[in-house]
Structure 1
């Protein structure tokens, strides 16, 4: 059943609407026989918002299957990204990290679905509108977090450092930071501030994972069926949401600040797991990079 219109407004338009796209992809991935990641709560978000209530949440609802550019190719990409970043966070807590910050958390449910050890706290930062919708759906589903969960309503384009500190975050404890599908949409100045803030708040042993587009996409790539399908079938114009102005070299900046940084292609993880999207002509995924960084003596993934 859809939630009240006032609560769904925050996820109906703009970048926030992409959270519903990712939730639908995770729901479909959950039901694949060879699922890379599972998220039983994802379909609750999709069905609760009128904008996405008729989107597929199961592979059987995707007639073209893997050949569908949206729910086949892009959806599998989101499943692969989810798995890689899940593994990053779990690798971090296995070495003693007990503090996690998810930047631009959207409809992320890692606080509920991952096997966190005792003593873990997950801070989720996003706008108040997105978090209000998310909480309503979680309450309806009777979801209980595995870790201590601390949602924090703040816009990452603004000054969010003090709000995080006020929520109980400790800058003296190592932190696993995650910015999944966030920096693609931020202005360059906000990205620079985010990297500087993460660096300033990170004790030795902290980690960071995030996604970027390494270079601007060519006209041929911008005409890829993935983008056309999202625009025509879902009303999500991804190309208009991406900030295409010159991007900061955040990986280089982290390295200059003393972090150990590894930049990976998504297809590296397709090979690692034996499933996931493969390269194609005029590839909308080809310039995507996943960055894994650590400070202190911790190795990256």
Structure 2
């Protein structure tokens, strides 16, 4: 079966392929048995470039980083999680959630329809109360989210993974404004972004050209994520990829090695309201 929409949605396949590969490792940082069925249904992306292979290392580290942030939020008593631009995410099925936790996945209608069919075909059963919400982050997604049962009066753990760089600066700011409006005291936010130096790396040019050709260009960057998120009411901390890799007993990926990438940075951020 094929049918995953083109554009940004196709990037979700590369991320799922990275999760599939990591799950096959005896010492994998996580296990995702649904990654392979999702990849096979979507159509595997072959001939991945060197930049793509390096990105896979980042996807693996990023996945574990955000896994830990979300499970920490649940352990702290938060019972509402929202994944914005969830893509082919399977955290509802593979993480050990409290039974009373509600998890919402927001993404484009075509992608949601594709993913729901694959999950149904696999007989996948979530480990929490899961709700898929079909909505575009550039439109009125808060209305769709609340209609699906989201409660803005309850503290929420938000995840904005792998999407902000695809949004124009004004659209990204609007997403953060809306997240702030929906966040009760005690909410948490985890997010990823990049700085301009990362966008301008010569090594990234082939990948950027391919993304642009599939209508998935990167449109924004952030130089100081702590200051940026403070403007939306969040107290943020940044974890650098190199430190994350070392803490997990993994080699520092070339794309996180300052001797290789210079001032280029991928920001992994966690924040409190």
How does the TM-score come out when normalised to structure 1?
0.81
Structure 1 alignment gaps of length 5 or more: 57-61, 296-301
Partners of 1:118 and 1:134 lie apart in 2 by: 23
**1:283 equivalent in structure 2:** 261
Is 1:129 the equivalent of 2:110?
Answer: yes
| Alignment partner of 1:222 out of 190, 202, 217 | 202
| Alignment partner of 2:241 out of 256, 266, 274 | 266
CA offsets per residue over residues 45-78 of structure 1, 9 Å max, x none?
A: 111123x2x649xxxxx9xxxx96533x321211
| Alignment partner of 1:87 out of 65, 68, 71 | 68
| Structure 1 contact 27–42 (Cα < 8 Å) conserved | yes
| Alignment partner of 1:70 out of 42, 46, 52 | 52
| Structure 1 contact 195–250 (Cα < 8 Å) conserved | no
**1:25 equivalent in structure 2:** 18
- How far 1:213 sits from its partner (Å)? 0.6
Instruction: Name the SS of the counterpart of 2:130 in structure 1.
Output: strand
Structure 2 alignment gaps of length 5 or more: none
| Alignment partner of 1:255 out of 230, 234, 257 | 230
| Structure 1 contact 214–288 (Cα < 8 Å) conserved | yes
Partners of 2:66 and 2:168 lie apart in 1 by: 23
| Structure 1 contact 175–202 (Cα < 8 Å) conserved | yes
- How far 1:254 sits from its partner (Å)? 3.0
Partners of 1:9 and 1:239 lie apart in 2 by: 13
Partners of 2:262 and 2:62 lie apart in 1 by: 15
Taking only aligned residues, the RMSD between alpha carbons, in angstroms, comes to 2.7
Instruction: Name the SS of the counterpart of 1:172 in structure 2.
Output: coil
| Structure 1 contact 104–180 (Cα < 8 Å) conserved | yes
| Structure 1 contact 30–37 (Cα < 8 Å) conserved | yes
- How far 1:157 sits from its partner (Å)? 0.9
Instruction: Name the SS of the counterpart of 2:97 in structure 1.
Output: coil
Partners of 1:161 and 1:112 lie apart in 2 by: 24
Q: For 1:75-224, list aligned pairs within 5 A.
A: 75-217=56-198, 219=200, 221-224=201-204
| Structure 1 contact 261–293 (Cα < 8 Å) conserved | yes
Count, aligned residues: 270
| Structure 2 contact 237–271 (Cα < 8 Å) conserved | yes
Partners of 1:249 and 1:194 lie apart in 2 by: 18
- How far 1:199 sits from its partner (Å)? 0.8
- How far 1:86 sits from its partner (Å)? 0.2
